[in-house]
Amino acid sequence: MTAGEEVLAVSDLDVRYRSGFQAVSGVSLSLARNERLAVIGPNGAGKTSLVSAICGDLRRKASVTGDLRIEGRSVARRRPHVRARMGLGRTYQVAQVFPGMTVLEHLALARIARRRGVGRWLREVKSEFELTDAEAKVIDLLGLRKVLTQRVSQLGQGDLKLVELAATLCAEPQILLLDEPTAGMGSREAENVCEVIETIVALRPSLSIILIEHNMDVVFRVAQRAIVMHQGRVIADGTPDDVRADSEVRALYLGYHAGA
């Protein structure tokens, strides 16, 4: 496990929705182990489409062409759960949870997802169980201990994003794709999410992250590299500082988000 080793490679990715709209055109990118890459760009630039295509979530909504490799193995034709088991884990712009289940049940699902073998299907899932050390760390980090036994339908949107993140982390991905983790949060909560990401990075040295984010403070704190998307294409790629200095980027995007 050397740093700099490529864990995710996307080449020449096109995403064309069933409506005929081309949301991503010819995007290539490469993610190294332990690298944190931010994807920024105006609304509708195709950031979410890119991440969904990487995870295989668009199978029925769009035609996706181009090559996609996880740890060197091509996964372009693989179903989403296979990609997840090869190390992809994602969160969504609008939190995706299992309504009616408790937070603990979300962790139980992540546990089943994480484990191998037939036993995980057969073993009884109790409505209460003890957390493993790793799970307890995630839960405490995200401050979810108080709501463990609550159903997610009783939680607010901000907490739902945390529950979703907790479930994703407990599935122990190698490549974490975060779609606007701070959307709809105040600056204090966004600060908290930054700390969470930094702690996770410290806990899991081999984790790579792709972060879609509008909040430039978060980008500067978390990311080592940033790409800027516009109308489905990558228009800039470099360190966050380089990207900020780029005149085209300033004109197209950062102008509206200056100081955000």
Partner 1 sequence: MSRPVVPSRWWAHPGESLWVRMVLIVVVAGLYVAWIDNVGVNTGLGSVLMLIIPGALFALAMGVSYGWCGLVTFGQGAFFSMGGFTAALLREKELSPLSVVVLGGVVGGFAAWVFAALVLRRSTSLWFAMLTLAFGQFLFEYGNKSSHFGGPDGIAGIPRGSVFGQDLLMQWPFTIYSLIVATVVMLVLAVVYVSGFGMVGRAARLNSQRAEALGLNVVMIQVTMFGVSGAVAGVAGVLLAQQQSFFSTGYLGLQFAGAAIVAAMIGGVNSYWGPLIGFTILALAQNQLAGSTLGSVGWDLVLGVGVVIIVLLAPDGLMGGLDSARRSLGRRMTRRARVDRRRESSEPRAPEAVGEGS
Ligand X SMILES: Nc1ncnc2c1ncn2[C@@H]1O[C@H](COP(=O)(O)OP(=O)(O)OP(=O)(O)O)[C@@H](O)[C@H]1O
Q: Is 85 in the site for partner 1 (CB under 8 A)?
A: yes
Question: Nearest-CA neighbor of 183 among 36, 47, 74?
Answer: 47
Spell out, one character per residue from 238 to 257, where the chain touches ligand X: x when CB under 6 A holds, - when not.
Answer: --------------------
Residue 21 interacts with which of Mg ion, ligand X, partner 1, none, CB < 5 to 8 Å by class: ligand X
Least distance from ligand X to the Cβ atom of residue 218, Å = 14
CB atoms inside a 10 Å sphere around CB 249:
21
Q: Is 47 in the site for ligand X (CB under 6 A)?
A: yes
Q: Is 250 in the site for partner 1 (CB under 8 A)?
A: no
For residues 15 and 46, the answer to whether their CB atoms sit within 8 Å is yes
The region of 19-27, 69-77, 187-195, 235-243 touching ligand X under the rule CB under 6 A is 19-27
Q: Is 49 in the site for Mg ion (CB under 5 A)?
A: no
DSSP character for 97? -
Please select the residue that binds Mg ion; options are 37, 39, 40, 48, rule is CB under 5 A.
48
Least distance from Mg ion to the Cβ atom of residue 183, Å = 9
Angle at the Cα of 179 from the Cα atoms of 32 and 46, rounded to 5 degrees: 90
SS3 183: coil
Q: Is 168 in the site for partner 1 (CB under 8 A)?
A: yes
Q: Is 181 in the site for partner 1 (CB under 8 A)?
A: no
- Count Cβ neighbours within 10 Å for each residue of 32-60 and write b for 16 or more, e otherwise: bbbbbbbbbbbeebbbbbbbbbbbbbbee
Q: 111 pairs with which residues across the strands?
A: none
Q: Is 110 in the site for partner 1 (CB under 8 A)?
A: yes
Q: Is 17 in the site for ligand X (CB under 6 A)?
A: yes
* Token digits of residue 84: 């997840």
Q: Is 45 in the site for ligand X (CB under 6 A)?
A: yes
**Is the Cβ of residue 49 or residue 192 nearer to ligand X in the bound state?**
49
Q: Is 91 in the site for Mg ion (CB under 5 A)?
A: no
Residues near partner 1 (CB under 8 A), total: 51
For residues 167 and 110, the answer to whether their CB atoms sit within 8 Å is yes
Q: Is 44 in the site for ligand X (CB under 6 A)?
A: yes
DSSP character for 102? B
Phi, psi (degrees; rounded to nearest 5) at 259: 75, 0
**Is the Cβ of residue 16 or residue 36 nearer to ligand X in the bound state?**
16
Least distance from ligand X to the Cβ atom of residue 39, Å = 8
Question: Nearest-CA neighbor of 29 among 43, 50, 4?
Answer: 50
Measured over the CA atoms of residue 182, residue 79, residue 206 and residue 138, the dihedral's sign is positive
* Token digits of residue 98: 């299992």
Which residues contribute to the site for partner 1 (CB under 8 A)?
A: 55, 57, 60, 79-81, 84-85, 89-90, 92, 96-102, 104-105, 108-110, 112-114, 120-133, 135-137, 145-146, 148-149, 151, 167-168, 171
